[in-house]
Amino acid sequence: MNNRLIIGRYIVGDSFIHRLDPRSKLIGMFLFMIAIFLVNSYTTIVIALLFTTSILLLSKIPLLLYLKAIRPLLFLLIFISLFHVFFHNEGSRLLQAGNFAIYSGGLEKGLVSAGRMTLFITFAAMLSFTTQPDSIATGLSSILKPLNKLRIPVARFSLMLSIALRFIPTIFEEAERIWKAQVSRGFSLANKPLKEKAQLIIALLVPVTQGAFRRAISLADSMEARNYRLDHKRTAYRQMTWTIADSSYLCMFIIPIVLIAVFQKVF
């Protein structure tokens, strides 16, 4: 497996997290989002970090892979952090440089915001690493099944999600293949101005987009040739079974939610 293409990958394993029902992992992701939204200080971000690390260790996937999943969004994390640092003037002044000043409140908000985003990306990567794409779509369809009574097309949404998750790594692989082909022909971004670099990268998006459309048309033709009908009832290839382990897993999320809520009131 190419270590640079991490997002959307499923990693075969037999850990406690791998064996869980996809529905429990999706509900756990929702509870984790609640905990992350409650984080607003150094103390609460440490609580969320400790809990996230414990879940990642249970997945028995090297932590280095989680770090590589964060790397593509590193620029966004830095931007979020610096935005709060330079544009929030709460708390005491820590540093003055010309018209810019760094305040303790802005620094805290910047680091906490970047930390929240990092933890969310890491947890989403854990869900992707330990759950096959079709299982995620099936689990989500089962959770949202009651919405069918409101005439919400749950099956259509689940199919779209399943196809998207399946083709994310494929599109990344095709983009890398095109990039390597260009590099082998002498293509290089070194010593080029930023504007020209942006234009060259945008030009590379054209064949990637063409390849994505080509794959989409091929998939649609294959589904039509097999007489696929979205509204027909069908059984799932992988049967979902809720066990005590799934209930225990969800109970674990009560700990960070309660601790973060308590520390918010105390501090």
Q: Which two tokens stand for residue 62?
A: 């090297």
Is 255 domain-assigned?
yes
Kindly state the helix (H) or strand (E) to which residue 127 belongs, with its residue range.
helix 104-130
**Residue pair 136/126 in contact by the 8 Å Cβ criterion:** no
Entry pTM: 0.73
Question: What is the number of H-type helices and E-type strands within the chain?
Answer: 10, 2
**CA 220 to each of CA 158, 205, 224: distance values in angstroms, whole numbers, following the listed order:** 16, 22, 6
pLDDT confidence band for 250 (50 / 70 / 90): very high
Q: Which residues pair with 96 in a beta bridge?
A: 101
Does 24 score more than 90 pLDDT?
yes
Is 46 domain-assigned?
yes
Measured between alpha carbons, how far is 6 from 123 in angstroms, rounded to an integer?
13
Q: Which residues contact 115 (CB under 8 A, 6 or more apart)?
A: 39, 45, 48, 49
Is 19 domain-assigned?
yes
State the total domains in the chain: 1
For residue 110, the enclosing domain spans 1-132+239-267
Residue with tokens 């601790």: 259
Q: Which two tokens stand for residue 95?
A: 């540093």
pLDDT tens digits for 121-179?
899 889 989 988 778 878 888 888 888 787 777 777 777 777 776 777 777 777 778 77
Is 154 domain-assigned?
no
Q: What integer pLDDT is reported at residue 3 of this predicted model?
A: 43
Q: What integer pLDDT is reported at residue 197 of this predicted model?
A: 66
What mean pLDDT do residues 26-44 have? 90
pLDDT confidence band for 32 (50 / 70 / 90): very high
pLDDT tens digits for 79-125?
888 888 777 777 777 777 666 777 778 888 888 889 999 999 899 88
pLDDT tens digits for 174-228?
777 877 777 777 766 666 676 666 676 777 777 878 888 888 888 888 888 877 7
Does 5 score more than 60 pLDDT?
no
Does 37 score more than 70 pLDDT?
yes
Is 5 domain-assigned?
yes
Residue with tokens 């590379």: 204
Q: What integer pLDDT is reported at residue 192 of this predicted model?
A: 67
pLDDT tens digits for 48-76?
999 999 999 999 999 888 888 888 788 88
Measured between alpha carbons, how far is 184 from 258 in angstroms, rounded to an integer?
55
Does 1 score more than 50 pLDDT?
no
> Largest Cα–Cα distance in the chain?
68
Measured between alpha carbons, how far is 211 from 222 in angstroms, rounded to an integer?
16
Q: Which two tokens stand for residue 120?
A: 């969310």
Whole-number percent of the chain with pLDDT over 70? 85
- Nearest of 67, 61, 123, 112 to residue 90 by alpha carbon: 112
Q: How many CB atoms neighbour CB 41 within 10 A?
A: 15
pLDDT tens digits for 14-23?
899 999 999 9
Does 248 score more than 60 pLDDT?
yes
Is 183 domain-assigned?
no
Measured between alpha carbons, how far is 95 from 106 in angstroms, rounded to an integer?
12
Q: Which two tokens stand for residue 183?
A: 């590099």
Is 108 domain-assigned?
yes
Is 202 domain-assigned?
no
Q: What integer pLDDT is reported at residue 187 of this predicted model?
A: 67
